[in-house]
Amino acid sequence: MSDMATTLEFEGRDALMKSLDALQPTGERSTATKFNALYANIEQALTRGVTQRAVLEALGRDGLKLHPAKFKKLLGEARAQCNENGEGLRCSSCGGVQMTPPATEAQLEEGSEE
């Protein structure tokens, strides 16, 4: 171990640890984290035929305001992550995996009632 690393270990280490602990994620990362936490519920709503507009309004009322393009981007990323991991949605009642088809592009269109 170098002298610099040894010095850091003893001098200023606590201050550096406190500084790192105080750091908060950027707004964009925080938004993505919140979206990912709600992903299963969002996907289930879309699968039931709830429109993107209605989902966006509900998210906005609860503090997660998203532009439709950002919503589609986050949804696509969450779907890709689930596909990559081989995961399906879990049923909120029984916990079983539901392999549901992704919402169609028509369902994602702003104001679509399909």
pLDDT single digits (tens) 17-40: 888 888 765 656 688 889 999 999
Distances (CA, A) of 102 to 47, 51, 67, 85, 105: 7, 13, 20, 16, 9
| pTM recorded for the entire structure | 0.56
According to DSSP, residue 58 is labeled H
Query: Is 11 inside any structural domain?
Result: no
Query: Is 3 inside any structural domain?
Result: no
Query: Is 78 inside any structural domain?
Result: yes
Query: Is 89 inside any structural domain?
Result: yes
Q: What pLDDT, in 10s, does the model give residues 55-78?
A: 999 999 988 999 999 999 999 999
Domain with 71, as residue range(s), is 27-108
Domain count, the chain: 1
